[in-house]
Structure formats: structure tokens, C-alpha cells
Amino acid sequence: MAVITIREAISRGLREALESDDRVFIMGEDVGDYQGAYGVTSGLLEKYGAERIRDSPISEEAIVGSGVGAALAGLRPIVEIMTVNFTLLAMDQIVNAAAKLRYMSNGQFSVPMVIRTVTGGGGQLGSTHSQSLEGWYASVPGLKVAVPSNPYDALGLLRSAIGDPNPVLFFEHALRYNVTGEVPDDYYQVPLGSAIVRRSGADITIIGYSGMVLIMDQVSELLARQGKEVEVIDLRSLNPLDMQTVIDSCKKTGRAVTVEESWRTGGFTGEIASVIHEEAFDYLDGPVLRIGGADVPSPYSSELEAATIPNAELIIRSIEKQFRF
């Protein structure tokens, strides 16, 4: 078991794919000469050449559109969009082309492509570079959405995404690239649509994904000092969504909290809360507590920005207020 970072795990997955399948190529802004905005594609251009590591023009619509065309032609493109904020410029290609062509062709065509992008705030990048939009894409039929929180899942989910016949959006949190964890040398995959119980507990269930998982771990440790057992569920992917693991946990603990970095209003975890109420209502000791980011554009000031993102103190205060802990 090697201890590596999320950055290294994703880079390993990309190298494996390039090495094992000649159909795979990587395309995006600064993925070659600059070696990626976050260093994930470091060294790939030198090893695999400009045919397979393609620096693109600054046009997200062209990048994704070219990837869709390449996938339809039988290749396996891995497209990098520098941040999720820039995917808005390619919304038509993602939502109206990649997501729908398999259905509209009655299965005659598939779009086996991965769109890697960066999500989340906390880096003082301003209102238009600090958003968490993965929930938007998870609501689109035909798209799959992976949201890893650690190196093991990053590599395992990326392997599954690259091998999937459908378009997969792969979200990497901007501030979590240096998170470390154990990754086996042996080959493995993490299936899309398989949530995991990170910590078992009997008193309350906390559900989240991506950058919020580390915050949830902090909450569980702090509440454990008060004698409260917290069950922590990492969703790992939003589409497909593993609700069975969530429901089973909520039936056991009787209390549920959802956490996401994106805006609370219209947030994806509202869907999770709704299903919990539909399928586990008789087991609950109270309504599902939803915690999300503040409903404001992300401020540039580091203090103000931090105030818009859920933290352990906010989550614990909210839990104590709602469940009388």
C-alpha cells in the first residue's frame, strides 16, 4: 500500500489508461506544455507526445465538442476543463450532445468520454471561479458524476469512469489535491454508484461528498468526545446515486444530516433529503437537517469566503439545535 496524494492518484490513472489503450487521449487547455493547471498531467506530453496529449485553444465549447466527436468515432477522450466554472461555456455540448446522443440514436452511438474538472471554493479565486456545480450535472439524464474525496477513490472511480460507455464528469476539489491516503499496488475499481460508510455510528448519520468529507470526519471526532456516535457516509458519486446505503443508515440512527459546499437553495442534497423522508420517514426522530453553502456569490476576502462554506463548528451547532444534542 503506497501513500500518495489525490493528484498522484489521478495522474496514475491517466498514465494507466494511456499505456493500456491506444484509443485514449487527453485534451484541454494547458494539459501539455504547462503540464496542467493543477499539475495532474505533469510529464505526460514528454512520454506520449502531442498526438495524445493535446493542448487546445481557449474554447471550452470546442474542447468538449471535439471530445464528443472523437468518442462517437471510437476513441476514448479524457477532456480537462480547468474549473467547473468554465464548463458553463460548454453547457450545450455537455447537456444536449454528450448526455443525449446515446438515447437519441437508440443505442447506435455511445459517448465514452471523461470530462475532468475542478470544483469548490476556499482558494480566494472570486465569485466566478469558486463554484460547486456538480449537483446541476447530476440532475441531467445521460451524465454520470463522480466526486472522490481521497486518493483511493480518486483512482478507483477514474478507472471506472474511463471504462464506462457513457460520458462521466469527474470532479476534483480544488483544495484537496494534496490529501494523502493509502492506495494498493494491485488493480481495483470503485464502481460508480457505490457510497461507502467511512465511520460507523448509532446516533446520527451525516451524508456528503468531495471536500465536505474531511469536514464530516472532523464533526464525527468532535461529537465522539461528547459520547455521540456519528455514521459518516461518503456518496462518492452523485449519478448514479447509492440511496440504499443512505436509507439503511438513516433507519439505524434515526437522525440524518446532509452536507454540501454548493448553495443550500436548490442544492443536490435536497434530493437526498426528500428520498430519505419518502423511504425512511417512520424511522426518523426528526426532519432531515440540510447544511449547504451560503446563498451568495463567493466573496474574494478570505474571511468572508470562509464564512460561506460549511465548517465543523457550523455543522455541530446546527446538529445540537435541531436534535437537542
Strands 180-183 and 289-293: unpaired
60 is catalytic: yes
The mean of the pLDDT values for the chain is 97
Q: What is the pLDDT of residues 111-143, one digit of tens each?
A: 999 999 999 999 999 999 999 999 999 999 999
Rg (CA), the chain: 20
Q: According to the model, what pLDDT value does residue 171 have? A: 98
Which of 8, 60, 134, 231 is flagged as catalytic?
60
* Catalytic position from the list 8, 29, 80, 129: 129
pLDDT at position 325 is 77
CA 136 to CA 206: how far, in whole Å?
21
pLDDT in tens, 199-243: 999 999 999 999 999 999 999 999 999 999 999 999 999 999 999
Q: What domains lie within the chain, and their CATH numbers?
A: 2-183 (3.40.50.970), 196-323 (3.40.50.920)
Give this prediction's pTM.
Answer: 0.96
Tens digit of pLDDT for each residue in 267-290?
999 999 999 999 999 999 999 999
Does residue 249 carry a pLDDT above 80?
yes
Q: For residues 180 and 150, what is the distance between their CA atoms, to the nearest angstrom? A: 7
Q: For residues 6-31, give the mean pLDDT.
A: 98
Q: With cut-offs at 50, 70 and 90, classify the pLDDT of residue 324.
A: confident
**In whole angstroms, what is the distance from residue 196 CA to residue 147 CA?**
13
**CA atoms of 213 and 76, how far apart (whole Å):** 31
- Residue 129 bears catalytic tag: yes
